[in-house]
Amino acid sequence: MASVVGLLEQRELAARRRVDGLREEADRIQAELAAAEQEWQEWAIARRRVDTVLAPDSGSTADTEVTPEPRDADASPAPRAAAKPKSQVPVWSEGLAWSVLSADYQRILQTLADRNRLHQGPLTCQEMAAAFGMDPVPARVEALRSKAKRLVARGWLAEPAAGRFTLAKHVAGPGGGS
């Protein structure tokens, strides 16, 4: 009759071998996933660049930025005149309407415009997430922060204190840019 300790050692060894095998398989799958994601991103970038070159208003792209988002790789391009999700964020200029921005960016501007109108001051991204009815979890807050920082860089918003955003002084309501 085998000892209890001997049986336990056999079971432990079998479990360790299974764990090692699963770890190897997980590492292989992670490497394969990383390679597939990289290829997907490259194809999405290539498609966006071709869209930019073939667009009827293919002027200078130095003042615009395309949000890198590989999830829209399978979406068909929308007409250039309409604001679309994951669209370009133009540099603010006199008379530029908010409608050139995607709905997410317009929502940020509208919330900050309402706060300015009520003299409530700057807003943090965590407060924005709560105002939009989102759970203020780090992923959502960071997505809003990225959008807000992009709007600051393009002249639509100001950041008077680190992490606190308000409309830029020259940006007015949704109808026009002054």
Spatial strand order in the sheet of 157-161: 123-124, 164-167, 157-161
Predicted local confidence at residue 174, as pLDDT? 64
- Indicate if the pLDDT at residue 23 is higher than 60: yes
**pLDDT per residue as tens digits for the range 31-57:** 888 888 889 889 988 888 888 888 776
| Cβ-count burial 135-164 (b if 16+ within 10 Å, e if not) | ebeeebbeebbebbebbeebbbbbbeeeee
Predicted local confidence at residue 77, as pLDDT? 43
Question: When comparing pLDDT for 105 and 83, which is higher?
Answer: 105
**pLDDT per residue as tens digits for the range 131-155:** 888 888 888 899 899 999 999 999 9
pTM: 0.49
Predicted local confidence at residue 102, as pLDDT? 87
Return phi, psi of residue 82, to 5°: -90, 145
Model confidence at 71, pLDDT cuts 50, 70, 90, reads: very low
Contact 95, 118 (CB under 8 A): no
CATH number of the 89-167 domain: 1.10.10
